[in-house]
């Protein structure tokens, strides 16, 4: 089955053609990073306007790259939520219009399930059940994944997500956007023990990163002189290590508590080199099987949406053209 995937949940306009939920014929992503860089974060109104400009050129390029036409497509999968409603509506409108014109099925996909499904685009794919750590944008959650559309929440953030913690730290340090990418690059040459940042609520499975951000703010304000360029790598490495520590520790704890031997780490933050390194080390020590998608499929893309769509459509699930965007859509409520 040839599925056209469409993703517009935040600030990437993406389209992809995937066959049988595995074979990627094309994957096109139009990023808005440079546009939002001046604001230190995504501006929803600007994002939705740029999606409107990019959506059809991106879809056309995905079809061209796959050497296919719309008439070859057998179904459309589009991100329905969670995300920025204005951005989601652009993708949904395009998907529903094409589905109506072509008389082919269309299905709305949960963006978070898409991130988990990205692992099935890799050469080595896990069997269910597995523990999934989803660290993407405003989400930091641990799930027991028993099957597609069958997730049990084991942990979530009580305030800031890991991605937000990276972006806010970068803004405090005035080192650029997106924060996670900049901090990861700086941290490679830094001392992880330079500052003893806190690791919050170690006795709970849940996450909390607001205190970490506050700790960095206090450190900056207490200084008698501005942070020098020479100190930035050490601060970045120390801050990053505090985030990585709790992500790794709690995900492995969840796997051991549930007696599950497979771990999937996905979402944009899963591109972080130190997080990948630590998970690899700890999984080998504990005898766990680790699965992380290639970095290009960790960040928002439409191929992962097509994978979920293929699964839904094969089950006979269809959505009507009246389906609407949803800003919040818990993965355990599918």
**In the chain, domain spans:** 2-117+297-333, 127-292
Per-residue pLDDT tens over the stretch 126-148: 999 999 999 998 899 999 999 99
Longest dimension (CA), the chain: 67
The predicted-structure confidence for 235-281, as pLDDT tens digits, reads as follows 999 999 999 999 999 999 999 999 999 999 999 999 999 999 999 99
Equal fold, 2-117+297-333 vs 127-292: yes
Q: Residue for token digits 């099935």?
A: 120
Fold of 127-292: Nucleotidyltransferase; domain 5 (3.30.420)
CB 326 within 8 A of CB 299: no
The predicted-structure confidence for 2-14, as pLDDT tens digits, reads as follows 999 999 999 999 9
**Nearby residues of 289 by Cβ (< 8 Å), 6 or more positions away:** 126, 261, 262, 263, 283
The Cα 308–Cα 108 span in angstroms is 9
- Record the pTM: 0.95
Q: What are phi and psi of 157, to 5 degrees?
A: -85, 145
Q: Is the dihedral of CA 231, 236, 241, 246 positive or negative?
A: positive
pLDDT one-digit tens code per residue, 275-315? 999 999 999 999 999 999 999 999 999 999 999 999 999 99
Closest CA to 14 of 334, 300, 309: 300
Q: Cα(244)–Cα(69) distance, rounded to whole angstroms?
A: 44
Q: Indicate the pairing of strand 289-291 with strand 262-266.
A: parallel
CATH of domain 2-117+297-333: 3.30.420.40
């Amino acid at each position: 089955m040839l599925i056209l995937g469409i993703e517009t949940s935040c600030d990437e306009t993406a389209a992809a053609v995937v066959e049988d939920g595995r074979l990627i014929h094309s994957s096109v992503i139009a990023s808005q990073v440079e546009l939002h860089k001046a604001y230190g974060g995504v501006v929803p109104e600007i994002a939705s306007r740029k999606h409107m400009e990019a959506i059809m050129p991106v879809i056309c390029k995905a079809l061209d790259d796959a050497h296919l036409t719309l008439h070859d497509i057998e179904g459309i999968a589009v991100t329905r939520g969670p995300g920025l409603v204005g951005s989601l509506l652009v993708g949904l409108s395009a998907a529903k219009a094409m589905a109506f014109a072509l008389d082919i099925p269309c299905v709305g996909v949960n963006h978070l399930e898409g991130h988990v499904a990205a692992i099935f685009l890799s050469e080595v794919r896990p069997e269910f059940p597995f523990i999934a750590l989803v660290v993407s944008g405003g989400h930091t959650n641990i799930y027991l994944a028993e099957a597609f559309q069958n997730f049990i929440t084991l942990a979530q953030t009580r305030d800031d997500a890991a991605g937000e913690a990276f972006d806010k730290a970068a803004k405090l340090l005035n080192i650029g956007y997106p924060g996670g990418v900049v901090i990861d690059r700086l941290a490679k040459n830094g001392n992880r023990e330079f500052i003893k940042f806190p690791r919050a609520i170690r006795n709970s499975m849940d996450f909390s990163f607001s205190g970490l951000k506050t700790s960095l703010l206090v450190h900056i304000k207490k200084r008698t002189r501005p942070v020098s360029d020479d100190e930035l790598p050490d601060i970045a490495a120390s801050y990053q290590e505090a985030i990585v520590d709790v992500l790794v520790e709690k995900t492995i704890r969840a796997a051991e508590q549930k007696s599950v031997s497979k771990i999937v780490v996905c979402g944009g933050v899963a591109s972080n080199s130190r997080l990948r390194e630590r998970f690899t080390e700890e999984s080998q020590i504990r005898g766990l099987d680790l699965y992380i998608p290639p970095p290009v499929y960790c960040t928002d893309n439409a191929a992962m949406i097509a994978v979920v769509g293929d699964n839904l459509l094969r089950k006979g699930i269809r959505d009507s053209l009246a389906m609407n965007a949803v800003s919040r859509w818990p993965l355990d409520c599918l």
